[in-house]
Chain A
Amino acid sequence: MIINHPLLGPRDAQEFTYLGDAALIDRPDGLSYPTPDAAMDAMHDYLYQRSNPAGEHRELWYHEQGDRSWLVVTRNTVTHEITRVELARDVARMRGRSK
């Protein structure tokens, strides 16, 4: 697989390590829930539950053997076709994180 790095161009997927679903960017803030149970539910779902689709999947890849950036790669889990690659930093900022 070739990942088209937004800064470095096409790179072999072997240079990267894989974390999983890009939803892991949205870590819940445990203190923002009305009750501890609600916070626990949110944290449980965040940590352990996955959509795991057959088809398009947005996922986090880390360019360990390269520039050490985190990427959000949109890849089809049936065909391995990659349709979009973004810097995870940009995605996170767009979602109101890392302010």
Chain B
Amino acid sequence: MRYSGFRVIREALTGHKGWGPAWRDATPQASYDYIIVGGGGHGLATAYYLAKEFKQARIAVVEKGWIGGGNVGRNTTIIRSNYLLDGNEPFYEFSLKLWEGLEQDFNYNAMVSQRGIINLFHTDAQRDAYTRRGNAMILHGADAELLNRDQVRAMYPFLNFDNARFPIKGALMQRRGGTVRHDAVAWGYARGASDRGVDIIQNCEVTGFRREGGRVTGIETSRGFIGAKKIGVAVAGSSSKVMAAADMRLPMESHVLQAFVSEGLKPVIDGVMTYGAGHFYVSQSDKGGLVFGGDIDGYNSYAQRGNMPVVEDVAEGGMSLMPMIGRARLLRSWGGIMDMSMDGSPIIDKTDIDGLYFNGGWCYGGFKATPASGWCFAHLLATGNPHPTATAYRFDRFRKGLMIDEKGQGAQPNLH
């Protein structure tokens, strides 16, 4: 069924009896050409583009819980392409362009809202770094503007501009950045894939890989064996766990990242804002809640919920940037497990095992990457070659000294 304004009117007149489920909840067949492990944003997008752009068939997405229950449904929904390094910026700009056409492409309202993102700076050195970053973005065809203090003040007069330690001196602005309704991304891709014949198999945990002579032949799951010619793993925070079943160790640690939502407030923040002197970033949802977050908890965790000290740290960051936030009540907080890589950048690559492919290491920034990650992973699975914007995302970059370390922190995942 195609969604349209006409359809909404027709359904309204006929008692909304014609809406069916958006996708098929499939039972596993004996074998597929492609199995994607993980029904998060990246897995579903991969299946969608495999079917739609690369004209492949006999595809399944295998998800241990329900689709969208992982990080794709837990993030703070920010999209942007404001990266510095050559390995990253073309990829994230490709992703932002795909976001811009996504809703028409998969015929689903994902509430893509290019409300603009500003990264505040508080020192001359930070301004210089953001100038350099803005220039790098522009050179790669993205948009960037440097705002001075008065321009920021005109947008957000309530910020703590004269903080003695961290005065706000301006911001790097990307107007095309913004937010997207995260659940709708999972549902839209699932629906688009399912309509093109992809089997979406939920409540099916992958527990192992069957191999014959150095080649994968299928997956062992909680619902039995399923054969496959090619397998693509996109399980985010569970990457190390799942790949251990193929005897692989990854350059990754799993860490928890928390997010927070306040009670509904009148419109006050119409874009996205990141604090340059503390761990705090914020936007406002269409329902009025302030959606904000900060840093990861800092030690390996698979707990999918965070601890109190980081709640305090994030609240302090918020108070120091916009003191009036102290009057708002916190409604909810939650956590998701991040696949923190050793240089803070992702991997989209084949493994040493024939037919087994891997996509992960997205850290806390993989939501914005969802469309390009799916497209590039589908490209790799279908053609055997990396997509031109993802050639740097290789396993062997650590061995070769070709790290993509935006923050310059070195192999210390809890600092990225």
> Chain A interface (Cβ within 8 Å of chain B)?
1, 13-14, 18-21, 40, 44-45, 47-54, 57, 59, 75, 77-80
Contacts and interface: CB of A to CB of B under 8 A. Distances in A.
Contacts of A20: 253, 300, 412-414
Given A52-B241, A52-B249, A77-B301, 9 more contacts: A1-B307, A21-B253, A44-B399, A48-B398, A49-B249, A50-B249, A50-B252, A54-B238, A59-B299
A50 B303 contact: no
Contacts of A53: 240-241
Interface in B263-307: 298-303, 307
Nearest to A17: B298
A77 to B, nearest CB: 5
B388 interface: no
Given A20-B300, A77-B301, A77-B303, A52 B252 contact: yes
Contacts of A21: 253, 300
A74 to B, nearest CB: 12
B323 to A, nearest CB: 24
Interface in B235-265: 238, 240-241, 244, 249-254
B213 interface: no
B249 A51 contact: yes
6 contacts: A48-B398, A50-B250, A52-B240, A77-B301, A77-B303, A78-B302
Contact of B251 (A50, A54, A59): A50
Q: Which of B241, B250, B300, B398 has the most CB of A within 10 A?
A: B300
A14 B309 contact: yes
**Residues of B contacting A: mostly:** mixed
A54 B398 contact: no
Contacts of B249: 45, 49-52
A13 B301 CA distance: 14
Contacts of B299: 18, 59, 75
Interface centre among B252, B302, B309 (most CB of A within 10 A): B302
A25 B150 CA distance: 51
B251 A48 contact: yes
Contact of B301 (A19, A40, A50, A80): A80
Interface in B288-336: 298-303, 307, 309
Contacts of B300: 20-21, 52, 57, 59, 77
Contacts of B250: 49-50, 52
Contact of B342 (A13, A18, A48): A48
Contact of B240 (A51, A75, A78): A51
Contacts of A78: 302-303
B146 interface: no
